[in-house]
Structure 1
């Protein structure tokens, strides 16, 4: 039988490509009459470029990158929309054994607490008296870069003066650490686990500790394709949401790990993927630690494309000198994330959805039922330093950050 929709999606070999992989391998895409072709790439720049020239219709992509493309910060720059997120969390900050030992001497504990580990890193930098540590991130316009910078700055470390931050593909991070090219990196799984297991690395903190319930990868869609194929896009969103439910079921984690481990996908042993799926991570020194909400595929509106997430990323682009703030640019960032398309596509599934398109990030200190049915629970979503981001006061937030 011929499928109604032909869709080509790009992805990188990371745990958070899980929704796309499950949609294809478990038949959720086929149920929506989609012939879904997945193409593995090595770098986010290639993903962006192939979206721009319509080699890909959609892609597993860094949450800030579609905003950067629409703002003209990167070329070639496809006009993009984000109608769905691919989960929450999934990152960690990993450091060399040597750096971790120094941090431990300065009070860092193996509990991945962002505040104590950041303060310990601050002391290590002071001890080194001008010798700058080097950190790797996967792309300038990545959650990794902005969260690493947020963590450093809130710990009293200037990300542009006290350390160096460079760009490396995720598969190269652990080897660069072993070779002494970098002292640490912020990346998605399985590259932190592999660094610990094979490169004597140690986790310093995790995304879920820096900013709870925060976005990581999203579905980036070439807007020309979206405009011309609304039915195909809606069908894909339904397939991916169904996949998110399957991925969230703990009873499916072993099968999911084996699917992701295939050569066409992450191409790493399933046992290196299971820890992050279960939230029981190898942190270094032979120890493991249970991390609540390390990677969330479905709960807490994990697939919802919050406009407040888009605007927070925009404020970080402004904060770190990637772009100058204007009302027009803020509007472009706001309009990149499309909860209206999400709601329209998934309405027939009868799922609980947020009534609002934005929220004050960091306001929910506890898990909180929302909506009249109480069927949807959000939070906690706090920043580790207690900060709040009100998407209705972007000017005020930018002003406060410029002083810190």
Structure 2
């Protein structure tokens, strides 16, 4: 499977040292060169852009006929041709107008889907707090009941882009669970931010080895929640496909199912972990940060076609998301954000519930108040090594089969280069590498040997 790079905005024919393709429109502006094209001048990015625009104007006047263009230039000479053309056509004004519009979003009215969870904080808050508007966009964020709906509305084009779980664009690109469609994930939304909650009926069952026969909820098959729950119980000797039941339950329905006894527990996004405590029906067994510190969860994703067909819109949207994500990463902003995303059209949750999640000072349902400032955090960089780990778990549990190009798929979907460029442009620090080792429950994952990692587990379909 190959996904083309978003590539260079200039034509492949453009000589980046001289400027235009040697037809030679560059000479029309008096930037002549000798007939052998020896040692063409080095040009700045701005000069290159201006020359390409100039070439496009000339081609629009003469059409695609090289003969007409070259005949005109041959009769008058380069400098004279430029003067003659400028006398009847406002070349400088046309160049200025086009250059002024480079980078302007091709489409400003956007629909962006989100599932109402705190993981979507940057995508949601970017609307009421003005981050989309800051970059010239009129983006509407649309509440979505669950991940299957978000996936289908994205695939149908109803959503221009969407809040997704980090495994989803990998799965959608590979055709796991849906028709194979190239997707990109240029930014992570949140890290950490999940928990395993148990019903208060199981206060005496804190040891996962006691969970045989339990039924757990997760928000989607292709989710970190599913893969982290499977990893967690397997480390305690339980086969998640044999010893427990795992059901897909939309996040907003988790609490009701726990109360009704349909679930013994769940590994869910917040605020529904905290909401179970708030309503006195469950307790927090463990935060997922204690399973894998800094693990990714949700992300900003879109069809690859969105970026290739609307590159300026894509760039503006990515700036909005990354800027909002960095704003959310500052603990000093969390209380204001809680108020911004609490209303009915967003999370529809009490502000104190959201604050407990975002600030990390929370009641655990066991009679204690915990202070964990990084219970949830926000870091937009999409590490390729995280993508590789997700693919190993998809392989481990039978969601994908056969040979897997772990690094290739991760690099094609997780656009770390785009994230780094935008982060740098906005003045934020960005990593210089895209792979690193990760520690999950005390064991090190080396992204250089994903297949060996998969085969090293005692429990799993691919073991």
Could you tell me which residue of structure 1 aligns to residue 449 of structure 2?
Answer: 393
| 2:139 corresponds to 1:65 | no
Could you tell me which residue of structure 1 aligns to residue 153 of structure 2?
Answer: 50
1:286 shift after superposition: 3.5
1:291 shift after superposition: 2.0
Distance 1:292 1:209 in 2: 13
Equivalent position SS for 1:165: strand
| 2:277 corresponds to 1:221 | no
Distance 2:320 2:303 in 1: 18
Q: Within 5 Å, give how 1:350-365 maps onto structure 2.
A: 350-362=427-439
1:76 shift after superposition: 4.4
1:249 shift after superposition: 2.8
Show CA shifts across 1:226-277 (max 9, x none).
1111221221222222212322333322221111111110011111100011
Q: Within 5 Å, give how 1:317-356 maps onto structure 2.
A: 317-328=394-405, 331-356=408-433
1:321 shift after superposition: 1.0
Could you tell me which residue of structure 2 aligns to residue 34 of structure 1?
Answer: 137
1:400 shift after superposition: 0.8
Q: Unmatched 5+ residue regions in structure 1?
A: 104-119, 126-130, 363-382
- Number of aligned residue pairs: 356
Alignment RMSD, CA only? 1.8
Could you tell me which residue of structure 1 aligns to residue 191 of structure 2?
Answer: 88
Equivalent position SS for 1:55: coil
Task: Give the one of 182, 188, 194 matched to 2:275.
Answer: 194
Q: TM-score, normalized by length of structure 1?
A: 0.84
| 1:44–1:139 CA contact under 8 A, matched in 2 | yes
Could you tell me which residue of structure 1 aligns to residue 177 of structure 2?
Answer: 74
Q: 1:327 to 1:133 in 2, by over 3 A?
A: closer
222-231 vs 89-98, which moves further: 222-231
| 2:118 corresponds to 1:15 | yes
Distance 1:223 1:140 in 2: 22
| 2:410 corresponds to 1:307 | no
Could you tell me which residue of structure 2 aligns to residue 6 of structure 1?
Answer: 109
183-192 vs 240-249, which moves further: 240-249
Q: 1:347 to 1:330 in 2, by over 3 A?
A: closer
Could you tell me which residue of structure 1 aligns to residue 248 of structure 2?
Answer: 167
| 2:121 corresponds to 1:121 | no
| 1:57–1:221 CA contact under 8 A, matched in 2 | yes
213-222 vs 24-33, which moves further: 24-33
| 2:423–2:429 CA contact under 8 A, matched in 1 | no
1:352 shift after superposition: 1.4
| 1:71–1:329 CA contact under 8 A, matched in 2 | no
Q: 1:325 to 1:308 in 2, by over 3 A?
A: farther
Q: 1:325 to 1:290 in 2, by over 3 A?
A: farther
Q: 1:87 to 1:240 in 2, by over 3 A?
A: same
Show CA shifts across 1:300-326 (max 9, x none).
xx1101111111000000101111141
1:331 shift after superposition: 2.6
1:345 shift after superposition: 3.0
Could you tell me which residue of structure 2 aligns to residue 233 of structure 1?
Answer: 314
Equivalent position SS for 1:24: coil
1:281 shift after superposition: 2.2
Task: Give the one of 197, 214, 233 matched to 1:152.
Answer: 233
Distance 1:225 1:246 in 2: 25
Could you tell me which residue of structure 2 aligns to residue 277 of structure 1?
Answer: 358
Q: Within 5 Å, give how 1:100-139 maps onto structure 2.
A: 100-103=203-206, 120-122=207-209, 124-125=210-211, 132-139=213-220
Q: Unmatched 5+ residue regions in structure 2?
A: 1-103
| 1:319–1:402 CA contact under 8 A, matched in 2 | no
Greater relative contact order (CA < 8 Å, ≥ 6 in sequence): 1
Could you tell me which residue of structure 2 aligns to residue 111 of structure 1?
Answer: none
Higher radius of gyration, 1 or 2: 2
222-231 vs 244-253, which moves further: 244-253
Equivalent position SS for 2:445: coil
1:330 shift after superposition: 5.6
Equivalent position SS for 1:8: strand
242-251 vs 17-26, which moves further: 242-251
1:79 shift after superposition: 2.2
Q: Within 5 Å, give how 1:227-266 maps onto structure 2.
A: 227-266=308-347
1:398 shift after superposition: 1.3
Show CA shifts across 1:158-182 (max 9, x none).
1111111111111111111121111
1:24 shift after superposition: 1.4
52-61 vs 319-328, which moves further: 319-328
